[in-house]
Chain A
Amino acid sequence: MSDTIIYTMIALSAIGILAAVILYFVAQKFKVYEDPRIDEVENALPGANCGGCGYAGCRAFAEACVKENDLSDLFCPVGGNDCMGDVAGVLGLEAVQQDPRVAVVRCNGSCEHRPKTNQYDGASSCAAAASLYSGDTGCQFGCLSHGDCVAACDFDALHMNPETGLPEVVDDKCIACGACVEACPKTLIELRKRGPKDRKIFVSCRNEDKGGVAKKSCAVACIGCSKCFKVCPFDAITMNNNLAFIDSDKCKLCRKCVVECPTNAIIEVGFPPRKIKTDLPPKPAVKKEAVVKPESTASEEKKTENLD
């Protein structure tokens, strides 16, 4: 009995050694040289494999980083500037600093603002619904509320608000990988520059209809009146196809356009609550002006702060 065990052990060991020798030579023969820096770069990356950089995954991005001599077109949105600094350190290159960005949903057409004109009962997918027809409200540009963007988010940063029927971005979790931007068939989601303290001002509407039509279908639609365009002191607002757009690189968050917008299509997020004029007790007109003035100077101050 013990003989059998011994023979078995010897035979297996012999096969094992033989296989090891063969494998050693095969590995030598077919060795593929891989830049060791790829592994180093990969280790410096967050490993989310989200594809937000435009490559198939972190490994592919690392390969691209090693291959390129210039990191200006390469950026990992998950890791951000710190991570790219590490990558640049490994490769001995210079990292280009990019402003952190965040996704914003440019539709505010909740059930209350945008009444339903029909019912959709097809496949519960924005892409399928958009390929079939214009949507279940009068606005053909607005959110379809089936949550393709929520499904696309790997970082749990998007949630459907059941009350409004609109997706909401959790700023802290969003890494601006752009998966939701791709997923939205109505191109409602935009990656915007993260303002200080996560403050942001944007036109929460994509409606390109003429003013009357837009207003009829949604109470908070951009009607293309150009008031914000005229009031903006920084030329950050452009008008195109009856729709205003605020360039987040030029916007200094002065909030003048927010006040000006007649339909509340421009939204401010993350600002301290401002004194609302209508909440003030009725006062003579002259005094009212006096109240307004300090506020506007306050916002001027804020502006200069931001400029710094």
Chain B
Amino acid sequence: MLKTFKLGGVHPAENKLSADKAIEKLALPKSVFIPVAQHIGAPAQALVKKGDQVKAGQLIAQSGGFVSANIHSSVSGTVKKIDLSPDSSGYPKQGIFIDVEGDEWAEGIDTSDKLVEKFEADSKKIIDKINAAGIVGLGGATFPTHVKLMPPQGMTAEMLLINGVECEPYLTSDHRVMLEKAPELLVGIRLLMCALEVKKAYIGIENNKPDAIAHLQKLTASDASIEVVPLKVKYPQGGEKQLIKAVTGREVPSGALPIAVGAVVNNVGTALAVYEAVQKNKPLVERVVTITGKSVAKPSNFLVRIGTPVQELIDAAGGLPEDAGKIISGGPMMGKAIASTTVPVTKGTSGILIMQDKEAKREQMKTCIRCTRCVTVCPMGLEPYYLMTVSDKKLWEKAEEQHIMDCIECGSCSYTCPADRPLLDYIRLGKGKVGSIIRSRKN
């Protein structure tokens, strides 16, 4: 019996169209737009000004606090301007425009493919390097990684969990990283273990990626400290709390962080970025992005420089299909539709999904028939139908009582609702309101 989390979950059609497409380097764009806020926490402060010459890997915006991350130039060229431009939220955000000229890297960065395995086992040095490289969670949540690696006082990490689940349909970037960059990934995992001072790491991989499981099992056969855990295919297993439950059987208490049960979860993409930052001195300036969709001519996995407009990816994948109905940044379950193809790829962009017109259309909302399917599938054990009602009626106290803040916004409720009710839209709204009420109470 394969392991999985207990409560709820759904199994949408997997549609991993680009699973067998090797990672390709995307050609450099003509210009990039690098937002200064690509992570959870305070935005970074720009260090460059108009007309400055920058090299790839050069620090261009300084982290704006403890929970924040450095931003590096992903290309070499001239800073055109520092201005507002819409990111994937549609709202204009501060960012740095750079015109690309050549491809020159900053000094000290090793851009070769040579594997560097040896490292100095010094937790603080590793964390400092991760912090300097501006690494954030590449699974999509973009939480600064160095913060995760420094457990709050009184808490100690017992294990490292590496998230190779990739439970979102369509997305294959983590899958390809596990297949093509496994040796580097394992060094990255050892670095993270060393930073956390833990003796054990688990790599959770869903069973729909048997090649990745076999490949990593083979490579870790001689190393008892890293264990590959095959998991039953179920969405949202890639959620931090679900993954911990599936692998260790421990349950993160309501409102607590994974560290409360001694676990720290990092994505495979993050582990690879950690390897590059510590061993190769290369900051986080590029990431693997899946571009996919049923009508896309060439679904692919591209290694993309941060700041590249989404349009470049679409062009490289054979252009925008005629029946395109929606362009989604991320996967179909948790991703967000974007309003323009000029928005840049940021650190949190795991994929671009182009949905067909007919499958993208949302049905008209109908009356709730009290079937409780949403309750059955909620992986957090919440009552989505109730949370939607109280959010709609603005009964924030009731929403808080019913633990609206525990919602992980996986969208299983909206996905499963036979009455096509936009449950998550309302819950997200309520979550935002309740969150601000809680914050104002603390101040």
Instruction: Show the binding face of A for B, using Cβ within 8 Å.
Output: 117-118, 121-125, 127-128, 131-136, 140, 209
Contact = CB atoms under 8 A, between A and B. Distances in A.
B89 A133 contact: yes
Given A132-B336, A133-B339, A125 B90 contact: no
A118 B426 contact: no
A117 B89 CA distance: 14
A123 B422 contact: yes
B375 to A, nearest CB: 19
Contact of B426 (A117, A125, A133, A140): A125
A145 B240 CA distance: 37
Contact of A135 (B90, B340, B425): B90
Contacts of A121: 361-362
A3 B92 CA distance: 88
A163 B143 CA distance: 44
Contacts of A136: 339
Nearest to B431: A131
A118 B339 contact: yes
A117 B342 CA distance: 13
Nearest to B92: A140
A131 B339 contact: no
Contacts of A131: 428-429, 432
B362 A122 contact: yes
B339 A134 contact: yes
A125 B393 CA distance: 12
Contact of B425 (A132, A134, A140, A209): A132
21 contacts: A118-B339, A121-B361, A121-B362, A122-B362, A122-B422, A123-B365, A123-B429, A124-B365, A125-B392, A125-B425, A128-B422, A131-B429, A131-B432, A132-B336, A133-B90, A133-B91, A134-B89, A134-B90, A134-B91, A140-B92, A209-B92
Contacts of B429: 123, 125, 127-128, 131
Contact of B91 (A124, A125, A128, A140): A140
B86 interface: yes
Contacts of B92: 140, 209
A284 B271 CA distance: 79
B91 A122 contact: no
Nearest to B325: A119
Given A124-B365, A125-B392, A140-B91, A117 B339 contact: yes
Contacts of A118: 337, 339-340
Nearest to A117: B339
A136 B100 CA distance: 31
Interface string B417-443: 000001001101100100000000000
Given A125-B426, A134-B90, 15 more contacts: A117-B339, A118-B340, A121-B362, A122-B362, A123-B422, A125-B392, A128-B425, A128-B426, A128-B428, A131-B432, A133-B89, A133-B339, A134-B89, A140-B92, A209-B92
Interface string B397-426: 000000000000000000000000010011
B425 A123 contact: yes
A133 B336 contact: yes
B361 A122 contact: no
Contacts of A132: 336, 425, 428
B86 A134 contact: yes
Nearest to B422: A123
Contacts of B337: 118, 133
A132 B365 CA distance: 18
Nearest to A137: B339
A116 B90 CA distance: 14
B327 to A, nearest CB: 10
Contacts of B339: 117-118, 133-134, 136
A177 B92 CA distance: 33
A51 to B, nearest CB: 12
Contacts of B86: 134
A122 B428 CA distance: 12
B364 to A, nearest CB: 10
Nearest to A183: B394
A135 B92 CA distance: 12
Contacts of B422: 122-123, 128
Nearest to B360: A121
Find the residue from A117, A124, A128, A135 having the highest chain B CB count within 10 A. Answer: A128
Q: Nearest 9 A-B pairs (CB), nearest first? A: A134-B90, A123-B425, A133-B90, A123-B422, A121-B362, A118-B339, A128-B425, A134-B91, A128-B429
Given A123-B426, A134-B89, A134-B91, A117 B361 contact: no
A135 B422 CA distance: 17
Interface in B66-116: 86, 89-92
Contacts of A209: 92
B425 A117 contact: no
A122 B337 CA distance: 11
A168 B407 CA distance: 37
Find the residue from B89, B92, B425, B432 having the highest chain A CB count within 10 A. Answer: B425
Find the residue from B339, B361, B365, B428 having the highest chain A CB count within 10 A. Answer: B339
Interface string B350-363: 00000000000110
B90 A122 contact: no
A121 B362 CA distance: 6
Interface in B361-376: 361-362, 365
Nearest to A127: B429
A117 B392 contact: no
A279 B386 CA distance: 60
Nearest to A121: B362
Contacts of A123: 365, 422, 425-426, 429
